[in-house]
Amino acid sequence: MAARPTWKGYLKISLVNIPVKVFPATDAAATLSFNQLHGECQTRIQQKRWCPKCQREVANTDLVKGFEFEKGRYVVMDEEDIEKVRVESTRVINLEKFTDDTSIDPIYLERPYYLAPDGPVAREAFAVIREGMKGKAGIGKVALYGREYLVKVQPREKGLVMYTLRHAAEIRSMDAIDELADMPEKIKPDEVKLAQQVMRTFEGEVSLDTYKDDYQVGLREIIDAKIEGREIVTPEVEAPPKVVNLMEALRKSLDTISAKKKTTATVSRMTPKKRAGARG
């Protein structure tokens, strides 16, 4: 099924305005979700909007938006009031600054979206801007879903990817983590060297396509088993052993990795005939 845009507007760079569409870059349907049921009769429960003052359910048509400016006191905002907020980002993604595409700390990244040209006329200009932005990211703003976001836009494959960004005020300082207050100032160089040696044995290219969500896979297996009336035995999960001696644990890690590599190398050198003999 073709993806559907959730926003239409313009990508603006100086005096250049390109009609674009915004598409979610992630698929929420890929994650299993559960409904809340009444345990007694297995009926899905309903979420009702209840007014405690009037002691009755309230229809959607009777709901209004209210901002609490004092405890228990609200100012009501209707759609006409909200429409009076006319910021440029309601219809335009205005890229005001450009920087290297790796210069933004990942902690600020929130949610990814894809940008595509809106209509045949916009394709050429879109392609030129995408090519011109290689290695760079544009920073701007856009109004989505009732609020204005700071965004980062950069090239990706045939299109552009736009990340909504958290504002600096939303990022909690690590100084607020008490457990980090008493971290040791001096680290033993030999332990660091050995730790780096262990890490180097795992170096290589990373392909995220090879990873899967084992928890979701396990949930699906249990769901299918319950549907079919089968029973699944819960596997035992051993707790990781506590590290008493860091150097000893690092050396054991290297020994284990070395032994595995020797075994793999030996098996790979065996001919099919020798392997068949070894199995027999």
Residue 218 in domain: no
Q: Which two tokens stand for residue 1?
A: 């099924």
Mean pLDDT along residues 214-243: 75
Average pLDDT, the chain: 85
Q: Which two tokens stand for residue 186?
A: 């001096």
Where residue 280 falls among pLDDT bands split at 50, 70, 90?
very low
**70-111: pLDDT as tens digits:** 999 999 888 777 666 666 667 889 999 999 999 999 999 999
For every residue of 237-257, DSSP letters joined together read: -PPPPP-S-HHHHHHHHHHHH
Residue 153 in domain: yes
223-231 CB contacts, 8 Å cutoff, 24+ apart? 223/32
Strand partners, 142: 149
**246-275: pLDDT as tens digits:** 778 888 888 887 777 767 666 666 655 554
Q: Give the predicted TM-score (pTM) of the model.
A: 0.69
27 with 169: CB under 8 angstroms? no
Residue 280 in domain: no
Domain count, the chain: 2
pLDDT of 106? 94
- State whether 252 and 125 are in the same domain: no
- State whether 191 and 268 are in the same domain: yes
Tokens 């609200």 sit at which residue? 74
Residue 46 in domain: no
- State whether 15 and 117 are in the same domain: yes
Residue 76 in domain: no
- State whether 160 and 128 are in the same domain: yes
Residue 62 in domain: no
- State whether 146 and 191 are in the same domain: no
Q: What is the CATH number of the domain that holds 135?
A: 2.40.290.10
- State whether 119 and 15 are in the same domain: yes
- State whether 12 and 144 are in the same domain: yes
- State whether 268 and 193 are in the same domain: yes
Tokens 């050429």 sit at which residue? 124
**Sequence-distant (≥ 6) Cβ neighbours of residue 200 within 8 angstroms:** none
Domain boundary among 117, 147, 169: 169
Residue 196 in domain: yes
Nearest CA to 78 among 91, 60, 63?
Answer: 63
- State whether 93 and 121 are in the same domain: yes
Domain boundary among 147, 169, 191: 169
Estimate the crossing angle of helix 189-200 against helix 246-269, to 10 degrees: 20
Torsion of CA 165, 170, 173, 179, to 10 degrees: -100
Poorest-pLDDT segment among 52-56, 93-97, 172-176, 250-254:
250-254
Helix, strand, or coil (residue 172) = coil
Q: Which two tokens stand for residue 113?
A: 């979206």
Sign, CA dihedral 90-96-102-103, equals negative
- State whether 153 and 19 are in the same domain: yes
Other CB atoms within 10 Å distance of the CB of residue 225:
12
Residue 195: give the domain boundaries.
177-201+243-275
- State whether 97 and 182 are in the same domain: no
Helix, strand, or coil (residue 87) = coil
Poorest-pLDDT segment among 22-26, 102-106, 237-241:
237-241
pLDDT at 201 exceeding the cut of 90: no
Where residue 21 falls among pLDDT bands split at 50, 70, 90?
very high
Poorest-pLDDT segment among 16-30, 47-61, 145-159, 231-245:
231-245
Mean pLDDT along residues 203-219: 78
- State whether 90 and 150 are in the same domain: yes
Dmax over CA atoms of the chain, in Å, equals 84
Euclidean distance between CA atoms 96 and 137, whole angstroms: 11
Nearest CA to 247 among 176, 194, 185?
Answer: 194
Fill in the DSSP letter of residue 234.
P
CA 149 to chain centre: 17
Euclidean distance between CA atoms 214 and 19, whole angstroms: 41
Residue 147 in domain: yes
